Structure 1
Amino acid sequence: MKTLFVSYRVTDLDRSLPFYAALGYVELGRVEPGDGSRLVILSFPGEPAVSLELVHRPGSESVYVGTGFDHLAIQADTLADTLERLTDAGLEPGPVQYPGGPHGPKTSWLTDPDGYRIELVEWPPDRPDGITAADFS
């Protein structure tokens, strides 16, 4: 078993797509089931498979189904460069934080048009793959 992708329900696909494009996602394809719904399949360049799906269902009550979702984490090669690019694109990332101390990961938070929180993470050079089982041994 493995995780295939995360799927977000969005209220306005035409507003959400430019936001995720500014983050660096590219559209791989669309599915239109015929009931007015649209599913847009996204990934980052160089990713081997889909990583995010945006789902728009016009007329459905709310995009927020359930209350357990917290955030999506996205790895940035260089957080400073990513924050500059996002700011230049009109997005508003938060300040750089060091949740693991000065030698741990650098993070910044961003919120999409529907209020979904996104954590941007730059891992220390000695931990390029992020959190692994070795971190819990």
Structure 2
Amino acid sequence: MMRTLHIGLRVTDLGHSLTFYQAIGYQVVGTVPRTPIGRLTMLKLPDDEFVAIELVHDAEPVERGTGLSHLVVKVESMAGTLDALASKGIVPVGPGHEREDGLVTKVVTDPDGRRIELVQWPPGHADGMTAADCPDQDGDPHE
């Protein structure tokens, strides 16, 4: 079986990044202090069994490119999450999106400027995206 294990994100200031990701709800699973690519800090969300993000910190500042569009985090209550983030000085960077069926999205940015999309699924929705969420389900990405 194949599956994505986690994503590694280079960070400029490990302390600021840890504060940000912990405010969203991530927990530190462990660290690897010295590797050829820097110090590694493994993070997971409370209900996840496995690490989802690896913060990679070295002495070089991060130059944000355009290759990573955004990360997406499912939240149970958008209002509760936004209140908790606001108490830590983290606010959405735009109006977000809200549908009549209950889907709500908002975007915040991490200390290195990466977009983190917060998603509150409608009641009864699966925990993640499926083919039913994609308007073009024929499998041809070139149309």
TM-score tier (shorter): 0.7 to 0.9
Matched AA of 1:51: A
Unmatched runs of 5 consecutive residues or more in structure 2: 138-143
- Contact kept, 8 Å, 2:102 with 2:123, in 1: the verdict is no
- Which residue of 109, 131, 134 corresponds with 2:132? 134
- Contact kept, 8 Å, 2:40 with 2:57, in 1: the verdict is yes
In structure 1, the partner of 2:92 is: 93
CA offset at residue 33 of structure 1? 2.3
Aligned sequence identity (%): 44
In structure 1, the partner of 2:107 is: 109
Matched AA of 1:97: H
Offset from partner CA, 1:11-41 (integer Å, 9 cap, x none)? 1101111111111111000012256821100
Offset from partner CA, 1:33-91 (integer Å, 9 cap, x none)? 256821100001121100111101213x6443x53210000000111111111111221
Aligned ranges for residues 30-109 of structure 1 at < 5 Å?
Answer: 30-33=31-34, 37-59=38-60, 62-64=62-64, 67-94=66-93, 95-98=95-98, 101-103=99-101, 105-109=103-107
- Contact kept, 8 Å, 1:36 with 1:58, in 2: the verdict is no
What CA distance in whole angstroms lies between the structure 2 residues aligned with 1:46 and 1:53?
A: 17
CA offset at residue 117 of structure 1? 0.3
Tell me which moved more, 36-45 or 111-120. 36-45
Q: What RMSD, in angstroms, separates the aligned Cα atoms of the two structures?
A: 2.0
- Contact kept, 8 Å, 1:107 with 1:120, in 2: the verdict is yes
- Contact kept, 8 Å, 2:37 with 2:56, in 1: the verdict is no
- Contact kept, 8 Å, 1:86 with 1:93, in 2: the verdict is no
What CA distance in whole angstroms lies between the structure 2 residues aligned with 1:88 and 1:128?
A: 29
- Contact kept, 8 Å, 1:37 with 1:56, in 2: the verdict is yes
> Could you tell me the TM-score, scaled by structure 1's length?
0.86
Tell me which moved more, 34-43 or 104-113. 34-43
Unmatched runs of 5 consecutive residues or more in structure 1: none
How many residues align? The count is: 133
Matched AA of 1:115: G
